[in-house]
Amino acid sequence: MRLTTRDFDRTGRPLRFTELGFGSSPLGNLYRAISDEEAQALLERAWAGGIRYFDTAPLYGYGLAEERLGRFLAGHPRADYVLSTKVGRLLRPVEPGEARDGLGKFFEVPERKERFDYGYDGVMRSLEASLDRLGLDRVDVLYAHDLDLFTHGSQEALEARLAEFMAGGYRALVELRDQGVISAFGAGVNEWQPCQWLAERGEFDLFLLAGRYTLLEQEALESFLPLAEERGIGIVIGGPYNSGVLATGPKPGSFYDYRLAPQAVLDRVAQIHTICERWGVRMFEAAFQFPLRHPAVLSVIPGPQSVGEVMENRIAADAELPPGLWEDLKVAGLLRPDAPV
């Protein structure tokens, strides 16, 4: 079963992304523990559904997601898929008397602590550790992870991390790309503003933007996405359902941005849901399809937590939506007038 693909060749090393990719944070037991067998079933279903782009990170289960993904991919030819992971965090075992990181967020994961390191040596050490956990000799794409306010808490702290990265980690990524160790690099973040800051100061190939170009939010069209299109920078969209609310609908207890959705968000989602119903479209299908309308977008990577969610994402990837849906959303003020549809 084949998926539509989008080719990307900014560096002379072409990559082929499936429009539906696989975000692997659930493999790291995000929010709930799953067994190795369940993780294997998720990946088998994803592969059978045609998915050939897989994204992971050391953060996801403090190495667990990389380990599970690597075991699965070991059974498939290396040329048959695109793989990305991230740098910016180094992991170490907990010391006696220490508590591991991620309590209450990641369950039944290795007893490890994280340390931010966006420097030259930190990036090189992070890649080496990731390759060891993955059991592979290369990845295709490296993203600098979480260079954003959401993670670092203040503008001052973020600016310090950005400066650290541009002084060291960026140089490491350029060297790795120039030496052919990786095919491309960029940043994986929760906000578009740092993406623009970075794009204006370096030669980046790709950005993984989580939750900031969706049916709910299109501020990235102000300046960042036009800049990416102008410079031939590829965009991968994470969090297309804004942590769930665009899939579950406006129900109490729905999540938005990793937290319970506030009433204002639920109200806006209710409006979107009503218009989707009017056109006979399931909202999660529209939420998946919308980002792909932008010419810079290469892939959308939900993080499925069950085989059922993998199958629903596959259905969304094949959905054919009526053009009138987008026009009605614009007329209602729910999509920006300049949003490509």
- Could you give the angle at which helices 155-164 and 192-199 cross, rounded to 10 degrees? 40
Q: Are 87 and 123 in contact (CB under 8 A)?
A: yes
Positions marked catalytic? 55, 60, 86
Return the DSSP state at 243: G
Which amino acid belongs to residue 81? Y
Assigned token pair, 70 = 């690597």
Which residues lie below 8 Å from residue 281, measured CB to CB, with a gap of 6+?
319, 321, 322, 325
CA 309, distance to chain mean position in Å, is 16
User: Residue 310: which H helix or E strand, with range?
Assistant: helix 307-318
Tokens of 26: 């659930």
3-state secondary structure of 259: strand
- Stated length of the chain: 341
